[in-house]
Amino acid sequence: MTLEKISKQLKDQNSNLPPVESWDPPYCGEMDLLIKTDGSWFYHGSVINRLALVKLFASVLKKEQQDYFLVTPVEKIKIQVANQPFVITNWQWLENCLPATMQITTNLGDTIIVNQQHPIEIDQDGNLSILVRRNLAASIHRNVFYQWVELAHEVNNEKCQQLVITSAGINFIIGEY
């Protein structure tokens, strides 16, 4: 299977999401809902264990500037996100795909190909993230990060050494020292 076919399948899978980016409902206040750094969702201090419910909430999650909201066509409610709303928990190389291409999976089961549309980025604090959908990103689970460090190659930059992973023919920096 070609990279284009795989990308199309994954894009079709994500196209079933509600079009929250086109919704601009009135602001209705805040909800005591928190997405913690480990990707767990808490309502009034209690963890939401039902994955189906978390996926439903995540499907209507929207980011505006630095704030996160759950939106419907008629209301917008602000929630808190400790770091990123998703966490990359698994990855694999796609078989029979040249150039070598990495597929990642979030804690909610979203699958994404690491490429130009879904780049690995380092923020100003040195934390890695990947754009998952819309303008929503995922942090990288520590186990995944350590696995990437083992397979990364070093690149000499004028200012520093960089650890780089290549996916879909693109180099992504995962660390600098």
pLDDT at res. 10: 55
- From residue 19, how far is each of 45, 59, 71, 75, 119 by CA, in Å? 29, 9, 10, 14, 22
β-pair partners for 70: 61, 77
pLDDT at res. 7: 58
pTM for this structure? 0.87
Chunked mean pLDDT (size 10), the chain, 177 residues:
57 73 94 97 97 96 96 97 97 90 96 95 90 94 96 90 95 92
Domains of the chain, each with CATH number or no CATH: 17-81 (3.10.540.10), 86-176 (2.30.270.10)
